[in-house]
Amino acid sequence: MTYISRKTQAVIDLTALQNNYQYISTLAPNSKTMAVIKANGYEHGAIEVAKALEEQVPCFAVAFVDEAIQLRKAGIKTPILVLEGPFQESDFAIAIQHDLSLMLHTAAQIAWLNNDKGTYRSDIWLKIDTGMNRLGFRVEDAPDVIALLTEEHRKKLIICSHFSCAEIKNNPKTAKQITQVKALVEQYACQYSMANSAGILNWPESHGHYNRLGLALYGVSPIEQCDLVEPLEPVMTLEAEIIAIRKVKAGETVGYGDTWQADRSSIIAVIAIGYADGYPRNAKSGTPVYVNGSIAYLVGRVSMDMITIDITDLPKVSVGDSVELWGKNISVDTVAKYSDSINYELLTRLSSRLPKTFINRG
C-alpha cells in the first residue's frame, strides 16, 4: 500500500456523477446519451467513472484508441466510440479485437475501412465538418464520401458533427449547423449525433439519436448562465490541508516576486498544494478558497508545492484544517476566471501525483 503523508487530494463523488447523468438524460428523453470520458474522464478517473455508469449508459466516448483499450482491460464491456478515429490502418485491427467504434473523418480512413474487407462490423460514424473546421468532411463533399462506403456500411451510417459555439443561445451559425446535418440525415435516412453538453442544454432541436455528454456529466456547466444546470452536482472536490500559520507585519510581502504586500498585520496560512499538483500557477491574489465554513483569499504567487491565503479575519483556523480549492462551495468556474483559464483546462490539468479518493453515497 502506498504511504501518503499529506492530505492533498481530489475527492470524486460517484453518486453525484450518476445523478448528473440521470438528470441530463431526462432533458433529451428521445436520445441515447453517451458519456464522454476522454482525458481520464476529464481527470476524474476514467475507469472508476465508467464502472459507476456502466449500467446506465448506452455508449462511452474517448479520444484515442489507447484510452479505449485501457477501459477494455479494466473490464468495461459497454460500447466505446473513439472520437478522433484511427491514426493508422492497424488501428482497425485493434478496434475489431476490442469491439470499438471509430469516428471516420479523412479519405485515408475511408480507404482503410474498405481495405478491411468486412471484418469491421461496428457502426460507421462519419464526421461532417459544418463549421468547426477541425475534423471531418465538408458538407458539400459528403455525398461523394458516402458513395465510397459499401452498401452494408451505409446501412450502419451515423452522421456526426461538432458545434463551435453551442454555448451561445440563438446563434445563427449553430442553427445552420443543425440544418445542414438534418438535411443529410433526411437524404440518407441515417442516425446522427450533434449535441454536446451545450447542445443538450441550449439546443433541443439538435438532440439526435446519440448525444455526447461531456463537461456537464461532471457537474460543471459549459454555459455561464443557464437555469437547466442548477440541479447539477460538482463531482470533484479539490482539497488540501493547512501545514503552517504565520504572522506577517504590515509592509511585508508574501511569496515569490513580492507580488502581495500586507497593508496591515496579517495572519497567513500555508496550504500544501501547488502548480505541480495542477492548481493553476496564474491564479491571482484574491482567488477564493473555502475553509471551516468561511471564504478566504489567495495572497502571493502560487508555488510549485504551496499556496498562501489570508486568514486574518476568519474564526479559529488551525494547522491540519482542510481547505477546499474547488468543489461544492467554490466552483471551478470561479477559480478559472481568477486564473485566466477555463473550467475544462483546470479539471484536466491535475497531475499524476495528486491522489483521488472515490466516494459513493449509495
CATH number at residue 287: 2.40.37.10
Per the domain annotation, does 175 fall within a domain?
yes
The three grid cell numbers given for residue 332, joined into one nine-digit string: 471551478
Is 256 an active-site residue? yes
- Specify the pLDDT at position 236: 99
Does residue 17 form part of some domain? no
CA–CA dist 203, 201 (Å, integer):
6
In this structure, the answer to whether residues 262 and 162 fall within a common structural domain is no
Cβ contact 343:215 at 8 Å = yes
Please indicate, yes or no, if residue 16 is contained in any of the structural domains.
no
| Cα distance between residue 150 and residue 148, in whole Å | 7
In a domain, 225, yes or no: no
74, 183: one domain = yes
- Nearest partner of 129 among 153, 152, 151, 104, judged by Cα: 104
Burial of 337 (0-12, 13-18, 19+ CB in 10 A): middle
- Looking at residue 3, its pLDDT comes to 74
Same domain, 208 and 249: no
Q: Which of 38, 42, 218, 275 is catalytic?
A: 38
**Which of 224, 229, 253, 207 lies closest to 343 in space, CA to CA?**
224
Confidence at residue 361, expressed as pLDDT on a 0 to 100 scale = 87
pLDDT of 129:
98
CA-based nearest residue to 263, from 246, 251, 245, 254: 251
Same domain, 253 and 303: yes
Largest CA distance in the chain: 78
**Domain containing residue 213: CATH number:** 3.20.20.10
Binding residues: 134, 304
Do 205 and 297 reside in the same domain of the chain? no
Is 228 inside any structural domain?
A: no
> 51, 218, 256, 290: which one is catalytic?
256
Residue 14 lies in a domain: no
Is 112 within the bounds of a domain?
yes
Q: Which domain holds residue 275?
A: 236-359
User: Which pLDDT tens digits describe the chain residue by residue (362 residues)?
Assistant: 677 789 999 999 999 999 999 999 999 999 999 999 999 999 999 999 999 999 999 999 999 999 999 999 999 999 999 999 999 999 999 999 999 999 999 999 999 999 988 889 999 999 999 999 999 999 999 999 999 999 999 999 999 999 999 999 999 999 999 999 999 999 999 999 999 999 999 999 999 999 999 999 999 999 988 999 999 999 999 999 999 999 999 999 999 999 999 999 999 999 999 999 999 999 999 999 999 999 999 999 999 999 999 999 998 999 999 999 999 999 999 999 999 999 999 999 999 999 999 999 87
Residues placed in the known binding site for substrate: 134, 304
In a domain, 25, yes or no: no
What pLDDT sits at residue 1?
Answer: 65
Same structural domain, 207 and 311: no
Q: How many folded domains does the chain comprise?
A: 2
- Catalytic-residue membership of 38: yes
